[in-house]
Amino acid sequence: MISDIEIARAARLSPIADIAARLDIPEEALSPHGKYKAKIEAPFLRALSGRPDGRLILVTAMSPTPAGEGKTTTTIGLGDALRRIGRRTAICLREPSLGPCFGQKGGATGGGQAQVAPMDEINLHFTGDFHAITTAHNLLAALVDNHLYWGNALDLDPRRLVWRRVMDMNDRALRRIVSGLGGNGAPAETGFDITVASEVMAIFCLAEDLDDLQDRLGRIIVGYDRAGKAVTCADLGAAGAMTALLKEALDPNLVQSLEGSPVLIHGGPFANIAHGCNSVIATRAALKMADYVVTEAGFGADLGAEKFFDIKCRKAGLKPRAAVVVATIRSLKMNGGVAKAMLAEENIQALMRGCENLRRHVENVRAFGVPAIIAINHFTQDSEGEVAALRAFAAEMGVGIALCRHWAEGGVGAEDLARQVAALVDSGESAFEPLYPDEMSLWDKMETVARRIYRADRITADKTVHTQLSRWRKAGFGHLPVCMAKTQYSFSTDPELLGAPTGHEVHIREVRLAAGAGFVVAICGDILTMPGLPRHPAAEKIGLTGDGEIDGLF
């Protein structure tokens, strides 16, 4: 079988100025990064503000499994298909992190005939946005340590520093470290998170412009003084330099699908440990330039879609018109108890058991007032009986369903999905509402997500968590939304508990205040903000061919 990268290399890409013209972006508004990618400059984006918004479509998914679902592939296939049926369309995606590229998941540019390109460049350094975010974050960490070294005029309590360092790579050895050894400052226990979990990444993706970016960066809390008062990035005088590092990165990136659809890729927080959506700047720009905008949120709808709705849409004033819930028959059977080695065999009973996972995700999307459509990412070994059973399941739920073959056929393979989506979003205004109001307490917001989205019976936490939440409420942060950090593989905090579990407990191990981003992170179960590499990471298979082409990146 021809590989994804071979398909991408065989494609004839258009010069990026031609792709920009499809959204009426003049060439002088582009900052090119080679032939096939460019940044869209801020003055042009500001000039779009008076235009009406297009229709926003979210692509989300069932709970992920090792069998794969293909959410990004479906996002691209749907965007291509909408263009094929005559709709002016833009696609909005997150930038890939190097962590999963060299770890277990691989690249994040779609697959088969439904890809964005140039996929190797996008999956590696792209336009340098993640490097800028990493550097800005670590500049602040260096300035904190430097402030302590030169006398600590702000009286920072070294025991109450909360600003760690980041890097864009999975590295479990850096989760907990001791810094300042050898006389280079006072030794202190600290650690690293992955860049996509950085508050700077979240701020980058939620900021409206450079002024808003600098204001948000200034509100970052780096620690507390000996009297218990928060010390911020602005107190250290760091916000200006951090903004300067991020100035060019804040312009969204324009690339293309293999079929020439315009694709904006910008920002990339993970959805299991962060809020899982591309930048507000890119999404708003796309809505001003296209009639239909297809975007995605990370992992299953319990994580990415919930945070897209409750954090991004709430803060940016977005009104999604429809959501596509992606599933595969293979993954549904795995959720129904079938081992990965047996997934090619027809098993309608297991499929129906697994459909309870899909049912819950569809119900959760509808709980936000957003209509849903099921997209079945088709595999050749899916039997006619399994497809028929799945169609009957969708009919029983009263939800539309489309069998999609975009991986093999490109946009033409997703035209049925595109027609259904277009009819749905054209039929009326959005009834979208977040899951909880701003005035609800932080604890009640966490409990609302756990009970209504995860179907947990209860949430628990140690006294220190309750004490911290109380302090933040008194300090004026009680109105913030919550970002639940938990495993992506289950509705529960146990990654082995597949399907649609009920009656479980969600334990909140730790809470973190992202004052600049404007949300509170609740770290649940055993979730880690610095992942590790698997036994055999993807990096072992990546290299260069004799012609100097990158090989093994998928």
For tokens 């690293």, the residue is 192
Which of 100, 105, 106, 103 has its CA nearest to residue 130?
100
C-alpha to C-alpha distance for 553 and 551, rounded to whole angstroms = 6
> Is 309 one of the catalytic residues?
no
Peptide bond into 118 cis (omega under 30): yes
Note the Cα 261 to chain centre separation in Å.
21
Q: Is the dihedral of CA 67, 72, 73, 79 positive or negative?
A: positive
Annotated catalytic residue 270: no
Kindly state the tokens that stand for 380: 């050749």
Pick the catalytic residue from 38, 249, 271, 450. 271
> Cα–Cα distances in Å, from 504 out to 176, 450, 484, 511?
30, 10, 16, 20
Catalytic residue list contains 71: yes
Rounded CA Rg of the chain:
23
Active site residue 271: yes
Per-residue 3-state assignment (H helix, E strand, C coil) for 150-183: CCCCCCEEEEEECCCEEECCCCHHHCCEEECCCC
**105: annotated active-site residue:** yes
Tokens at 412, concatenated = 């033409």
- Distance CA(281)–CA(283), nearest Å, equals 6
DSSP line for 238-265: -HHHHHHHHTTTTSPEEEEETT--EEEE
Quick one: CA dihedral 396, 399, 405, 407, positive or negative?
Answer: negative
Catalytic residue among 60, 65, 72, 73: 73
**Residues across the chain:** 554
Task: Identify whether the C-beta of residue 500 lies closer than 8 Å to the C-beta of residue 359.
Answer: yes
Give the separation between CA 336 and CA 189, rounded to whole angstroms: 44
Q: Name 7's Cβ contacts closer than 8 Å, sequence gap at least 6.
A: 112, 113, 115, 258
Residue 140 to residues 232, 239, 242, 365: CA-CA distances in angstroms?
A: 10, 8, 8, 38
- The total of other beta-carbon atoms located within 10 Å of residue 409's CB is 17
Q: Which of 37, 39, 87, 94 is catalytic?
A: 94
| Tokens linked to 370 | 């957003």
What does the DSSP 8-state code read for residue 311? I
Catalytic residue among 163, 308, 368, 407: 407
Indicate which residue of 344, 379, 448, 451 is catalytic: 379
CA distance 113 to 261: 12
Catalytic residue among 299, 309, 393, 472: 299
Query: Would you call 102 a catalytic residue per the annotation?
Result: no
Select which of 37, 55, 71, 307 is catalytic: 71
Active-site residue among 84, 88, 105, 452?
105
Structure tokens at 165: 């360092």
Residues involved in catalysis: 71, 73, 94, 105, 271, 299, 379, 407
